Copies of this chain bind each other. A is one copy, B any other.
Amino acid sequence: MLGLMQEQPLLISGLIEFAARHHRDAAIVSRRVEGDIHRYTYADAARRARQVARALDRAKLGFSDRVATLAWNGYRHFELYFGITGSGRVIHTINPRLAPEQVAWIANHAEDQVLCFDLTFLPIVKGVWQHCKTVKHWIALCDADKLPADTGVSGLRSYEAWIGDEPGDYEWPQFDERSAAALCYTSGTTGNPKGALYSHRSTLLHAYAAALPDGMGISAREAILPVVPMFHVNAWGIPYSAAMTGAKLVFPGAALDGASVYELMEKEKVTLSAGVPTVWLALLNHMKQHGLKFSTMKSTVIGGSACPPAMIKTFRDDFGVTVLHAWGMTEMSPLGTVCQLKNKQLTLPPDEQLAVLAKQGRAIYGVEMRIVDASGKELPWDGKTSGDLQVKGPWIISGYFKGEGGDPLVDGWFPTGDVGTIDPDGFLQITDRTKDVIKSGGEWISSIDVENIAMAHPAVAMAACIAVPHPKWDERPLLVVVKKPGTNPTREELLGFFEGKVAKWQIPDDVAFVESIPLGATGKMQKIKLREQFKSYVLPSPT
């Protein structure tokens, strides 16, 4: 027997219409590529999203056709998020930090029909447009009078001219909530990128869970500045959760340096932010150098890669900001866990709380997780035993776009490629990527543990721990370090810093000082490149 409840599909169009109706004057503030500050409201955004939908209808795009974006966090990108998906098309957010040939490859693979880009990325477009075979419409996200002449890009139009004449009303279509809504390619460190294809249902359920008090805590009381890019896994779902709740949005555009982000946070009274650790390093350095404090910031979500405990402590003790350490993946929409204390932990001493907050946190409802050994046997949640992390749930992929890579699931679970422990309270701690773990004489050394300790040293700006081949132990850890400006730590000093913090055999064998560590398109350290660079490195003889 079925319940007698209204059958109403969970559709993304509902989010923007709800925001326009219930939070019509809530502000959306954007730093534009042009450098100025643009402000409007959810009611404006909804009207322009409807214009986008009409422009796509006029362009005769079919249901589920892909529309690509190559854009920063800004109001036009926000409108596209809703206009494309709400009208039944699929938004394909392209990461502009990819190499041009990769951009062309995925645009062709996705069979994008329209590509909308910020003028910052005109050089990329100029380089690839002739190779993008399916793209019929190139749209520059700018006013008509800002459109450069002689770009050579055939049929290039400005966004404002493209949508400007469309009426602002639109009847959003109703369809199966499992329909495709958004396409996002994994960065693909090996092989070709693979596409995660989100549905309206998965997006809405994720939006609910991400907004929960134990998720990111999103409400109409917050002003949110997502530093995490909208070209990277839906900016962790913030645009959708914000529309669901009418939160004020502050988009930083291309200016992600510490000074620009800080200025926007203060001017717009931002309360909540989100981004990868490297962005926060830049912000904290800027604030320390200039003796600055936050006026309104309460918390920031940090994910993408593990947040060093020292950074969590600095945010809390020096700046009064709670770090919400989070973990997720492109294949997971992306949110899996967020680190928020439980009731019983609220009275713990600050240092013990910090030990909890350094973990990646607890699953939000909708994500099931487990750790397994090499044979697939489930391992205990004791906070010590580490195993391969697997997940399942309604916003986790069942396969990749076009079936590539076959069925990625194992017994219905998605293997994340992460290695971690789960404690009895359900707090996940990622100890490594399966491929980054250092296998020393049959024992595993967590590269992340080593990096976290190194990052706590006052002279270390950035640190990566990688495996290098070793004749006796198969692999041994090498610490690759970028020094902080004005410091000059020695190898001995850094290695001595590990004493008493880890077992002797987990201390790196050597330190290599470098000018910079390569970062990938999403701000993560590219250890694969480092391993290549140091593959012939000769470690000192064992003592």
Chain A interfacial positions (CB closer than 8 Å to B):
1-8, 10, 15, 18, 21-26, 63-64, 90, 176, 178-181, 196-202, 205, 208-209, 211-214, 217-223, 244-248, 333, 340-344, 346, 362-363, 365, 368, 392-401, 409, 412, 414, 424-426
Contact = CB atoms under 8 A, between A and B. Distances in A.
B24 A365 contact: no
Given A3-B179, A6-B398, A208-B365, 5 more contacts: A1-B64, A3-B199, A5-B396, A220-B340, A221-B340
Contacts of A213: 211-213, 217-219, 221, 245
8 contacts: A4-B197, A4-B399, A6-B412, A22-B362, A25-B344, A213-B217, A220-B341, A247-B343
A223 B208 CA distance: 22
Given A6-B398, A23-B426, A342-B246, A212 B202 contact: no
Contacts of A222: 343
Contact of A22 (B181, B401, B426): B426
Contact of A212 (B5, B21, B219, B397): B219
Contact of A179 (B2, B214, B333, B344): B2
A22 B428 CA distance: 11
B221 A342 contact: yes
A220 B339 CA distance: 11
A179 B426 contact: no
A401 to B, nearest CB: 7
Given A24-B424, A180-B1, A245-B213, A6 B342 contact: no
B365 A245 contact: yes
A21 B220 contact: no
A208 B219 CA distance: 13
A343 B221 contact: yes
Q: Which 5 A-B pairs have the closest CB atoms?
A: A3-B199, A22-B426, A213-B219, A1-B64, A208-B208
A212 B4 CA distance: 25
A393 B3 contact: no
A180 B425 CA distance: 32
Nearest to A199: B3
B212 A3 contact: no
A85 to B, nearest CB: 11
Nearest to A424: B24
A71 B363 CA distance: 33
Given A22-B426, A221-B342, A426-B22, A398 B245 contact: no
Query: Which of A4, A15, A248 counts the most chain B CB atoms within 10 A?
Result: A4
Contacts of A248: 343
A31 to B, nearest CB: 19
Nearest to A213: B219
Contacts of A6: 392-394, 396-398, 409, 412, 414
A357 to B, nearest CB: 13
A391 to B, nearest CB: 10
Nearest to A402: B4
A362 B245 CA distance: 10
Query: Which of A213, A221, A340, A401 counts the most chain B CB atoms within 10 A?
Result: A213
Given A211-B213, A342-B26, A178 B2 contact: yes
A475 B498 CA distance: 85
Contacts of A209: 208
A160 to B, nearest CB: 28
Contacts of A362: 22, 220
Contacts of A4: 180, 196-197, 199, 397-401
A390 to B, nearest CB: 12
Contacts of A197: 1, 3-5
